[in-house]
Each structure stands twice: as structure tokens, then as C-alpha cells.
Chains A and B, each alone.
Chain A
Amino acid sequence: MQPLANVTQLKPAARAGAIEVKNVGQVFKTRSQDVVALEDVSLEVKPGRFVVLVGPSGCGKSTLLMMMAGLRQQTAGTITISGAPILQPDPDRVGVVFQEASLFPWLTAEDNVEFPLALRGVPKAERRAKAQDALKLVGLDGFGRRHPHELSGGMKQRVSIARGLVQDPPVLLMDEPFAALDEQTRMTMGDELLRIWAATGKTVVFVTHSLTEAVYLADEVIVMSARPGRIVDHLQVQLPRPRTYEMLSGDAFGTLRDRIWRHIRKSA
């Protein structure tokens, strides 16, 4: 039995950052009927990949992300991250970045970033040091003392990303993080995210409504259908990195975006 125990212990470390979703379903029970939000969803994400989930509104892409984060339990199937099932939020394995307004307005930027560490009783000095590093990584060096209302929308999202990264989890889940930003800020934040991703080597799963954003950011795009949510396509984006603004008008880019759009139009 000894060798076998060793194998199972080694497995998670060897697969740090890998995500496996197997036959996952989600049924919401309402008073009148059961609503099938997700049906038989299976996908695999290799460590270090940038994967984007797209689909029409209500296709369950955010629900899937919440299940990966352990914030919601699936009604069928299994989800494993770094080789172990995810049954509840585990900040060691998964960092989550939400849409705007998930920063605590009564805390400064650095206190917000330190929050997950404070929950676990990490000593103040260590906490501060880690928060400073994370803020530096997202380009907010020197803004730590500001409160959220003193920051722009883009800066707030940078703080959110820093908070998601501060515990150095191998996986970062992002639920439409730039949806509330204006177009220019959104483009800049996309480039910033790619820079941070390249610097840290995290596995990123990113939910968005924007097809352009999806193709621009992703290694792989997973397209989901309207309710009940299923995976209808899984595209590899072969565009070279670093991605540039000029690629947006290229043929390869357009072909990919068209292919996604056709799926979504069909199911909507």
C-alpha cells in the first residue's frame, strides 16, 4: 500500500493548476419546475492555459465558474482542481475575481488585498509585504493607501486581481471582470491581464460576453449554448503572443470570432 499512497500524494503537486470538469450538471429547483442550467459539461484545462468561456446570457457560464470556485455545488458530476475535488472555496488553490464592486469600500487598497491573508491569521508584516508585491505586480505601486472610491474602475479591478493573486493560487477564475469598464480601459486591462498572466504562469479561466475580448485573450475559447448550457465548441486560438491591437483586424482573428458568433446566434 505504501507506494500507492505516495502516488496519490504526489499527484496534486504534479498537476498544480490543472482543471478537470467531468459530466457536470446543475439543476435549479424552483417552486413550479426544475430548471436545467447546465447539462453534461466536461472539459479539461491544462496548467498555465488561458481559457475563456463565452455563450449567450443565461447559458450558465458564470454558474460553471462559481462551481469551479467552490461557491456553488453542482448537482451532477465532479470538478477537480490541481488533482483534488473542489467542494468548498479553497483560496490556496483558486483565486476569484468578480465583476466590479467586490472590494470592501471601508478598507484601503492594501487592506483589501491583505483581506484573504488576514482571514487566515497571517502576521501583519508578512501580509503587508505580500500585498505590496501583489499591488506592484498589477501596476498599483504607491496606491495602497487609497480607498476604493478614490480609485478608477480599472484601478479597482487591478486591486481585485491583486487580491486574487496574493495567496499565489495556481488557478485564477475571472467572472466578467471588465464588463463594467469603458472600452479603452477594457482594452488596456486586457493587455495588463495578459502581462500578469505571462509573469505568473497561472491557469486562467475567464468568463466574458465580448467575443473580441475572448479571442484576443485566450489560448482556448469554450463556447456554450443557451439553457440548458452545454459546450458546443472548443476552439484553439493559434494567434502568436504577445497579442497586439493590429491582430484585431486580421483575417485569422475575424474567422475565429465569426465561428463563435455563428454558434451563439444559432442557440440564442
Chain B
Amino acid sequence: MSARISAKTLRYLIVIGLIALWEGLPRAGLIPELFLPSLSSTLIAGWTDAGEYGHALAVTLYEVVVSMAFACGGGILLGAIVGSLPRPRILIMPMVSSLYAVPLVILYPVFTVWLGIGSESKIAFASIYGFLPTMLATAAGIQTIDPQLLLAARSMGATLSQRLVRVIIPAAIPTVLSGLRVGGALVIVGVVVSEMLISSAGIGYLISRYRTILDSPHVFAGVLLVLFLAIGFNAVIRWIEGKAAIWQTGTRTGQANDEIAVNAMQPAT
């Protein structure tokens, strides 16, 4: 018990220490303000242009939410099909696996040609970027369902749809959730990166623009905003995990399956 509390306290201390360093090092002149502006000047820069950052955040959030709907919805759907039916698996899996090894960001310029430099091209890129791991995780989750559970359900007279709703879906939830965690994080990456490349709005755009005029405090204000976005996303996923999958705790299906899912997301598979 005491070990756990001290670990938690230690984590807080580390975070506080980093914040202190962020403020202290530039102020003491140990790091030039151009490389790392102090936390306070970053916050002040963000605060004075709050309107601009607010608008950028709204654009980025919109793109992230829409992309997540596409990436996660499509990924879960196709992953379920690929995971449960052997024929589509043979057709699709090798393609998906090879595609996964391709740095998809090379497609982004093409998307801007097709869809313009507005939100549409970001959504298209981020959706595809987050779609693959979600799909692979869902497929892996469905494939790793213990066949004994399905046999038991059948022995109790479960129909095909009852097996799907009462066995396959609940059994796949932990792996699907860990797929959403990775897929969702990649959606955020995809949106911000594409905004930084070619764009006219969003946090990534602001970071990129302020960087070209060497305005470091404004760059870091954008970075901080992306950081909060990622932390917020993580908190949401944790909350869903807590709600939907109480049964993960302490079983083989918990931690172990997360690892399986993460492994399944490696390009080699």
C-alpha cells in the first residue's frame, strides 16, 4: 500500500519537477528562449491570443472527432468481418499488413490535391491513419476468442445472432478498446501532422506558422494544447474501459490481451 502511494507521489513530483525546470532553465539563461521559452511566457502567449487558439482548437477537435468516427467505426466493422470470416481474411489481411508498413504520410499531398487544403483532406488522411490499427486489433480480438466459449453457448441452444451479441462482442471488447486507444492516438497524430504540412487552420497550422517566424512562445502554446488534447483523449478511453470492461481485471484476458493487440499492430503481422 505504502509502495503504491509513494509511486503515485513520485509521479506527481516528477511532473512538478519538469514544470519547474521548464520555467527555471530558460529564466536562468541556461537555455535560450528561442529553443525553449519559459512556461510563463508560453502561457502568456497563449492567453493573449486565446481567440486564435480557441478557433484553431475547434477546427482540430472537429477534424479529430470526425476522423475518429470514421477510423474507429470502419476499423471495428471491417475488423469484425475480417476476424470472423476466413475468406475476407485471406483476401484483405496481406494487403492491410503491407499497407501498414508504408509511411502513409506520403499520401497526404495527394489528398490535398483531391480534397483541397481544408478539413476534408485532414479527415481523410487521419481516418486512414487510425483505421488500420483499429481494424487489426479488432480482427485479432475476434480471432483470439476462446472457441470453447462459443461451443458452450451453442450447447445451451444459442442461435447465431445470440452468439454474436452475447458472446463474440463482449469477448472482443478488451482488444477492441486497446485498438481504439492506439487508433485514436494515431488519429490525433494524423490530424496535427497534416495541419502542419499543408493547411489553413488548426493547431498544427498555428505551430507551423509561428515556427516560420521564430515565435517560440506561440509555438509551445500550440504544443501544450496538443498535449492536453492527447491527455484528454486518454482520460476518455480510460473512462470507457472502466465502464465497459470490468471483467478485464486480473484475468488472462486483461493485460495479456492488451499485449496481444499491441503485437498484432506491428507491421510484421
Contacts and interface: CB of A to CB of B under 8 A. Distances in A.
Contact of B253 (A99, A105, A107): A105
A115 B153 CA distance: 9
Contacts of B249: 149
B82 to A, nearest CB: 23
B248 to A, nearest CB: 9
A107 B146 CA distance: 15
Contacts of A106: 170-171, 173, 245-247
Nearest to A115: B156
A89 B154 contact: yes
Nearest to A160: B152
B164 to A, nearest CB: 13
A90 interface: yes
Contacts of A91: 155-157
Interface string B164-180: 00110011010000000
Contacts of B148: 98-99, 101-102
Contacts of A96: 152, 155-156
A19 interface: no
B269 interface: no
Q: Is the interface of A mostly helix, strand, loop or mixed?
A: loop
Interface string A208-229: 0000000000000000000000
Chain A, interface size category, equals 20 to 34
A116 interface: yes
Contacts of A81: none
Nearest to B250: A149
Contacts of B245: 106
A89 B156 contact: yes
A70 B157 CA distance: 10
A167 to B, nearest CB: 8
A129 to B, nearest CB: 18
Interface of A: 69-71, 89-91, 94, 96, 98-99, 101-102, 104-107, 115-116, 118-120, 147-150, 163
Given A71-B155, A89-B155, A119-B166, 20 more contacts: A69-B155, A71-B154, A89-B156, A90-B157, A94-B155, A96-B156, A98-B148, A98-B151, A101-B148, A102-B146, A102-B151, A102-B152, A105-B251, A106-B170, A106-B171, A106-B173, A116-B156, A119-B156, A119-B158, A149-B251
